[in-house]
Amino acid sequence: MKRFFLFLVLVLMVTVLSAQFDFRPENPVPVDPGVVIGKLDNGLTYYIQRNELPKERAEFYLIVNAGAILEDPDQNGLAHFCEHMAFNGTENFHKHQIIKYLQSIGMKFGPEINAFTSHDVTAYMLQKVPVTQPGHVDTALLILHDWAGKISFENEEIDNERGVIHEEWRTGRSAMERISKRTDKLLYYNSKYAVHDVIGDINIIDHFNYDVLKRFYSDWYRPDLQAIIAVGDFDPAMIEAKIKKQFSALPSPPSPRERFTERIPDHTETLVAVETDKEAQYTIVQVFYKHDPVTDRNQGYLRNQMKVELFNQMVNARFGEIQRQSNPPFVYGYSAFSSLVKSKDALMTVAVAKSGEAVRSLEAVLIENERVLQHGFTAPELERAKKELMKQRENSFKERNKKKSDQLVWKYMGHFLDNDPIPGVEFEYELAKSLLPGISLEELNVLPSQWLTDRNRVVIVSGPEKEGLVYPSKEEILALISRVENQKVGPYMDKVSDQPLLAQLPAAGKIVGVTQNPGVGVWTWELSNGARVVVKPTDFKEDEVLFTAVSDGGSSLYPLSSYTSAQYAGNVIGESGLGAFGPIELQKALSGKIVSLTPFIRDLQEGFNGSSSKGDIETLLQLLHLYFIQPRADAESYGSFVNRMKGFLENSIVNPANAYMITSNLTLPGYSPYR
């Protein structure tokens, strides 16, 4: 009977695993078995997961599926105002008692006691709550309970908070924020997203009637639009019982308002905006190709998400190569397909240009988009991207028991708000092993024709308002787009090297001395060349090795005439490749490996910082050896670095915060020429 019972258990386990990893596009995605999900009778959803990092701490979040987009015209800015009022008194906590209590148990306002409001969601966060005493857990849940339905909204506190938010509005009106407020009218074309921008209308904030604020809270802070997320070092059954007891009494409104999804209207013409600001630091070009999001979140969706990741990796590798040119057309550039707002996704191509080179940068990104549209990607590019993605999934799988609680919360937030899949790391790893090899080049090369369309396209050029600085007109931008679309672009040329990093391994030295400090678990090896190696095994991560090397010296050893060159030499060498490999070839040679090594030169020291997986330690040490025996400093890498630095720095003084910092950094050391 025992043997039969064990056999039956094994059969059931195999059956469950087979069902769990039966990959079919139409199949639903399983839910991570480690998370407890439930829904109360009043509609409130909860997610609970035991996670022991950090020990004796837990995350408690209240998620409200409501934000600025649900405001009525007379409430513009009041979703954010509601969030502020949560800290100014509730049914069980008078005025500012919430913050005082949480600070009394060792939590900090800001890093561990916080909240945010966006267009589509409001979230309240109690992070790293100590759970060694049951009273702390009970009080944390009581605070979330009061935020969910029992905020006081005392008239005096509302009036006091008007000034706080007015100041937040005033100090938050940076150049980028002012520009975005104008360009959003095109990006979010004839939708509420263009008007209800979270911070809101300052006239409404200063003068709204108390009942208008309370109306927003009454309409949208209700159990069917709320979720409690609890992740930490606790007993899930105990937390579930407490949530049921604490939150079941929250009432559901008899006639709730519809939680609608705001749509962004489509447009056939390309919309163009050119905006400047006196305090803008950077000239930025942005091209958006907007698309409706996929609503079916099945296993086919997960496979498609892998294709999106591969696309983003490959196109950004190309942008990285362009940035390494001696005189690159942009200081920094990237392209990615991702979510724009709840109702719209977008392929976004963004580049930071040098002053006066907006047209050059825009033309460069349009040409790269056209290149991938006309010719697609190459087989070696896809192979490297697959290696990178598989290594990421493998690393995440190895570190699955070392994730901190706050990393897990956001997954459950996405599941609650948008039905994002939460199958767990094990399933994602098995999925990648099973499906990634079968994703073909032809599949990837179809994506550009689906995404790079003239419908729903928006082009934005922004930058500093400066005498003598001329920007293209809307007509010139449209003419440039038409010219690029009608030209034949050459295919991408893939520069690779099949040489080994080290053609010949060096002769081995010897360990001539060993010192052990058992108190802190450290070993020190003295090598025959005089170097000392300090080693400390840890269990913080399953598959990570951290590395640093340092010696005394630094740029302070050099005369003033060479001081700046000495300071930046590490940056230029670090971007120049190594040995027989140029920077682009080196990056490709390291694809599929988790390894990085960066040289540095500071005032008083020089050295290296790096990390790798356990399996890539040898590669890390080979890179280190090459930096000593075959560093490179080629003219193209130098020109690229200098030109990009000029682009970043040329208008930094127009930003008031930068101007203050620069003045302080000059004044405090007495105008030392070394500063």
Question: Alpha-carbon distance 418 to 621, whole Å?
Answer: 44
Question: Alpha-carbon distance 390 to 375, whole Å?
Answer: 25
Average pLDDT over residues 58-86: 97
Q: Parallel, antiparallel, or unpaired for β 457-464 and 271-277? A: parallel
pTM for this entry: 0.91
Please, which pLDDT band fits residue 173 given cuts at 50, 70 and 90? confident
Give the closest residue to 226 by CA, choosing from 217, 235, 234.
217
Average pLDDT over residues 572-583: 94
Question: How is residue 222 annotated by DSSP?
Answer: S
Computed over every residue of the chain, the mean pLDDT equals 93
**Are the C-beta atoms of 275 and 460 separated by less than 8 Å?**
yes
Question: In this predicted structure, what is the pLDDT of residue 4?
Answer: 44
Question: In this predicted structure, what is the pLDDT of residue 674?
Answer: 83
In this model, does residue 304 exceed pLDDT 60?
A: yes
Please, which pLDDT band fits residue 59 given cuts at 50, 70 and 90? very high
Percent of the chain with pLDDT over 90: 87
Question: Alpha-carbon distance 240 to 49, whole Å?
Answer: 10
Alpha-carbon Rg for the chain, nearest whole angstrom, is: 28
User: Which span out of 20-24, 120-124, 280-284 was modeled with the highest average pLDDT?
Assistant: 120-124
* Sign of the C-alpha dihedral computed for residues 112, 115, 116 and 121 taken in this order: positive
Q: Which residue has the tokens 């209800």?
A: 196
Question: Alpha-carbon distance 156 to 95, whole Å?
Answer: 10
Question: How is residue 492 annotated by DSSP?
Answer: P
In this model, does residue 124 exceed pLDDT 60?
A: yes
Question: Alpha-carbon distance 658 to 445, whole Å?
Answer: 44
AA identity, residue 501: L
Average pLDDT over residues 85-112: 95
In this model, does residue 17 exceed pLDDT 60?
A: no
Which own/partner contact pairs does 538-541 have at CB distance under 8 Å and 24+ positions apart? 540/402, 541/399, 541/402
Question: In this predicted structure, what is the pLDDT of residue 596?
Answer: 96
Give the closest residue to 359 by CA, choosing from 445, 472, 441.
472
Please, which pLDDT band fits residue 447 given cuts at 50, 70 and 90? very high
Q: Which residue has the tokens 């904030």?
A: 205
Question: In this predicted structure, what is the pLDDT of residue 21?
Answer: 60
- What does the CA dihedral 640, 641, 647, 648 come to, rounded to 10 degrees? 150
Question: How is residue 33 annotated by DSSP?
Answer: T
Question: Alpha-carbon distance 194 to 436, whole Å?
Answer: 39
Question: In this predicted structure, what is the pLDDT of residue 225?
Answer: 98
**Are the C-beta atoms of 378 and 445 separated by less than 8 Å?**
no
pLDDT digits 0-9 by tens, 634-670: 899 999 999 999 988 888 888 888 899 999 999 999 9
Give the closest residue to 82 by CA, choosing from 92, 71, 98.
71
**Are the C-beta atoms of 431 and 424 separated by less than 8 Å?**
no
pLDDT digits 0-9 by tens, 471-530: 999 999 999 999 999 999 999 999 898 899 998 889 999 999 999 999 999 999 999 999
Question: Alpha-carbon distance 247 to 251, whole Å?
Answer: 9
Average pLDDT over residues 56-78: 97
In this model, does residue 210 exceed pLDDT 80?
A: yes
For 145-198, give the DSSP string: HHHHH-B---HHHHHHHHHHHHHHHHHT--HHHHHHHHHHHHHTTTSGGGT--S
Average pLDDT over residues 282-290: 97
Question: In this predicted structure, what is the pLDDT of residue 168?
Answer: 85
Question: Alpha-carbon distance 381 to 581, whole Å?
Answer: 18
Question: Alpha-carbon distance 482 to 498, whole Å?
Answer: 40
